[in-house]
Structure 1
Amino acid sequence: MRVTQSMLSNNFMRNLSNSYERMGKYQEQLYTGKKVSKPSDDPVVAMKGVNYRTELTEIQQYQRNLGEVHNWMDNSDAAMDKMTKALQRVRELAVQGNNDTYEEGQRGNIAKEVRQLKDHMIDLANTKVNNKYIFNGTNTTNPRFDEEGNLVAGSENNDAVNITVSDGVEIRANTNPSNIFNHEGESVIHELEDFATDLEEGATDEELGEYIESMDHFTNNVVNERASLGARMNRVDMIENRLNSQEVTTTQVLSDTEDVDVEKAIMNLKTQESVHRAALSTGARIIQPTLMDFLR
């Protein structure tokens, strides 16, 4: 086959174009810090990157969900802690009231404190976090009790607020309000009001003594529900630790898949620049002068 000057020139230009393309690729890797800028550069790497990025996005969403769970649980736990202390104080007052040495005026003062504690229990029962009532099941837009301590008509709800915290895993973020505020069909709010009324109306020591046992029941209810919440909080902590580990691992794998080795890219670019300069030098010798060059 006869090799012509035209063939030599065309081959040189094609190879020179490929050399520019390779230098552009290495320069782009250094600019972006990524191995590929479009799927056609390396379909396998691009597909793996999409999969890892999707997994990382899901993990981060679960972590945000866990933040919401923590918000519900931490505030519920804090409110129940205050409820326990309030009920313990009421029990102390019941013990004081169940004493023959206390006069009517003194029992009236105890009644006033009991009513203040009742209002405090109502406030705690209507705890609102992030514009949601956390002690009324899934009916988070309405309070559980009105100002008098009566259930808000049609709003009582004990359903679970479940939040997805991992693939196929849901955690109940709220408590069961009925377990906290009721005992054998009696509301703790009404029981406190009855106690205050009996103190004012001169109930017998035996009648007042019944409130000691009653407060023990309500306190135990709160403690038991708080223990159930605590068990779920421990599980949430374990899930959070696992998600944090997964995030670190997935981020590292994604980086290994997509991120360019800067040192290697610089070396490749320098090597290609040397090759390119050699190609230009060689091309200058291959391309012979033409008749047009002599006619200038």
Structure 2
Amino acid sequence: MAGRVTESSIHTRVLQNLQRNIQKGEKIQQQLSSGKQINRPSDSPNGTLQSMQLRGETRANNQYVRSSGDGLGWLSTLDGTLSSSSTILQKARTLTVQGLNAGAGSTDSRAALSAEIDQIRSTMIGYANTTYLDRPVFGGTTTGTTAFSADGEFVGNTDPVNRTVGPNSQVRVDASGTAAFGEGDASVFKVLDDISKALTANDMDAVAKGLEKLDTASNNVKNALSDVGARYNRITQMKQSAEDRLLDVTAQLSDVEDIDLPKTIMDMQLQQTSYQAALAASAKVIQPSLIDFLR
């Protein structure tokens, strides 16, 4: 048995179809204006989940890049400081050898060598208190502004300063002050001070012993420099890896979120054509009623 079709049901269905057509056109228009194919979770639940995961990975890799950059700043400071320290210690060794060769020289010449070694010692203390962003790079996690006192005593701590530069990957970005410059009687500052006093006292045996200790102290600085270089290379590689992954994730996120502009424009044009056709068809289907003639 056929169902009864009234003017009212025709009007209702036509309006519903037009409304759906308008809603579809509005969605495409919103995609064009925003440049995104996902403007609310209901647009694509699965795409929304992928987008959230990719954005989380993007934030993590951005943090890795920032941490790597900060770590490279620390290690660059260390590299320059330890290189300068190694160079100036080589000069101190040259002066000490001169003092040994001129053991029977004048008091004034030994005093001049002693004064120059004292200046090197002061310079070394300055190097040992080098800071990066107002934090001593040889002082560990100390809250103070120096790692060594004016007398060359270590006043920092040995707790490492680490930076997370990748998933489950931390790298130390400071250097142990005691490992680089020694401590106690083996401290490079104490060794230089002993050499200076031995030259002043014309104690060549003490100068010779001081030279041996100076060589050991110089090797400690070189070892610290080598370790810094290795960590610098590792962070550089991790930073590059994070940047590469960031590019990959950005491309994946674009595939999930961004619209295909030419295709969307074409869809919009087809939708407009469809809407115009629907309006034209509706005008023919909905004929004037008796009430319209009586108005």
TM-score (norm 2): 0.95
Counterpart residue number, 2:163:
163
Counterpart residue number, 2:241:
242
- CA apart distance, 1:207: 2.4
Counterpart residue number, 1:120:
123
Q: Return the alpha-carbon distance in structure 1 between the equivalents of residues 10 and 273 of structure 2.
A: 21
Structure 1 residue ranges (4+ consecutive) displaced by more than 3 angstroms after TM superposition = none
Q: Return the alpha-carbon distance in structure 2 between the equivalents of residues 39 and 119 of structure 1.
A: 65
SS in 1 for 2:150: coil
Q: Alignment length, in residue pairs?
A: 292
> Does the 8 Å contact 1:73/1:174 carry over to 2?
yes
Q: Which of residues 27, 31, 35 is equivalent to 1:29?
A: 31
Q: Return the alpha-carbon distance in structure 1 between the equivalents of residues 105 and 5 of structure 2.
A: 123
Code of the aligned partner of 1:26: I
Identify unmatched segments of 5+ residues in structure 2: none
Q: Which of residues 59, 62, 65 is equivalent to 1:60?
A: 62
Q: Return the alpha-carbon distance in structure 2 between the equivalents of residues 236 and 168 of structure 1.
A: 13
Q: Return the alpha-carbon distance in structure 2 between the equivalents of residues 252 and 144 of structure 1.
A: 46
Q: Return the alpha-carbon distance in structure 2 between the equivalents of residues 26 and 241 of structure 1.
A: 39
Q: Return the alpha-carbon distance in structure 1 between the equivalents of residues 290 and 260 of structure 2.
A: 49
Q: Are residue 107 (structure 1) and residue 106 (structure 2) matched?
A: no
Question: Cα deviation per residue 1:153-175 (whole Å; 9 max; x = unaligned)?
Answer: xx331222121111111111111
> Does the 8 Å contact 1:112/1:196 carry over to 2?
yes
Q: Return the alpha-carbon distance in structure 1 between the equivalents of residues 213 and 108 of structure 2.
A: 24
- CA apart distance, 1:201: 2.4
Counterpart residue number, 2:4:
2
> Does the 8 Å contact 1:56/1:247 carry over to 2?
yes
Shift of the 216–103 alpha-carbon distance from structure 1 to 2, 3 Å rule, reads same
Counterpart residue number, 2:98:
96
Counterpart residue number, 1:38:
40
Q: Return the alpha-carbon distance in structure 2 between the equivalents of residues 119 and 272 of structure 1.
A: 80
Q: Return the alpha-carbon distance in structure 2 between the equivalents of residues 23 and 102 of structure 1.
A: 99
- CA apart distance, 1:185: 4.7
TM-score (norm 1): 0.94
- CA apart distance, 1:117: 0.8
Identical pairs, percent:
32
Counterpart residue number, 2:277:
278
Identify unmatched segments of 5+ residues in structure 1: none
Question: Cα deviation per residue 1:186-236 (whole Å; 9 max; x = unaligned)?
Answer: 211122122222222222x33222222222111111111111121122211
- CA apart distance, 1:125: 0.5
Counterpart residue number, 2:141:
138
Q: Considering only aligned residues, what root-mean-square deviation do their CA atoms show, in Å?
A: 1.5
Counterpart residue number, 1:193:
193
Larger mean Cα displacement after TM superposition, 257-266 or 232-241: 232-241
- CA apart distance, 1:290: 2.4
Q: Return the alpha-carbon distance in structure 1 between the equivalents of residues 285 and 277 of structure 2.
A: 12
Q: Return the alpha-carbon distance in structure 2 between the equivalents of residues 100 and 169 of structure 1.
A: 54
- CA apart distance, 1:183: 6.4
Question: Cα deviation per residue 1:76-129 (whole Å; 9 max; x = unaligned)?
Answer: 111000110111010000011112353110111111111111111111100111
Q: Return the alpha-carbon distance in structure 1 between the equivalents of residues 145 and 185 of structure 2.
A: 22
Q: Are residue 150 (structure 1) and residue 150 (structure 2) matched?
A: no
